[in-house]
Amino acid sequence: MGTGRYAHVWRFDAGRICLDLVATGSAGGAPGACEQLPDPEHLRGWLAAARLVPPGTALPVLDDTWVARFHELRAVLDLLMEAQSGGPRADGALDRVNALAAGAPPGLRAVRAADGELVRALSAAPDCPGLLAVVARDAVDLLTDPVARAALRRCQGEDCRRLYLDTSRGGRRRWCSGEVCGNRERVARHRRRALEKESPPGVE
């Protein structure tokens, strides 16, 4: 789950950050999902919640251009994942992801916090190409790993399009989240059974 102001919106249970990004759009989300990264403020919060930047990292230059570029990456990732599920080839999208993955991701270093504990920090202020590169490289890693690629699933929940990696024993996971779509399905099943019991005998 995300943290902070938008914790009720963001989920990080897909198994890969590239899939979590796809899920932030209405096209790649759960039933009734809307655009979750509509402006710089939301993107800033998502980057922190996704741990692409350490907590408290200032991103003063994050603007609408960043939002547009993350939307673009999300769109091409959605095309690539659809291709893995039997959809049309998306070579143009693959070229774009490869180009973004070639960027230099932010460097990391360990620093001491006020209490003396070592915490993660960035070696320089993160820029948009560097953060895009982190997500694009995650997608490249997923797409070129036969085991991970074979575990790619789309949720079987009603109207849900979220993608996830099924790492369950036996590969029997059906939903993006048992607590969300799984629970929704169990409630719907219970209601159907209750209605069947209430129906008079012989009534279809």
Q: Is the pLDDT of residue 24 over 60?
A: yes
pLDDT of amino acid 187? 57
Tokens matching residue 6: 């938008």
pLDDT of amino acid 201? 60
61-84 burial code (b ≥16 CB/10 A, e <16): ebeeebbebbbebbbbbbbbbbbe
pLDDT of amino acid 3? 46
pLDDT (tens digit per residue) in 155-193? 888 778 889 999 888 777 877 866 668 566 665 555 666
Q: Is the pLDDT of residue 153 over 80?
A: yes
Tokens matching residue 152: 């790619």
pLDDT of amino acid 196? 64
pLDDT of amino acid 183? 64
Helices 64-84, 128-143: axis angle to 10 degrees equals 10
pLDDT (tens digit per residue) in 83-126? 988 888 999 999 999 999 999 999 999 999 999 999 989 999 99
pLDDT (tens digit per residue) in 134-150? 999 999 999 999 999 99
Q: Is the pLDDT of residue 197 over 70?
A: no
pLDDT of amino acid 65? 98
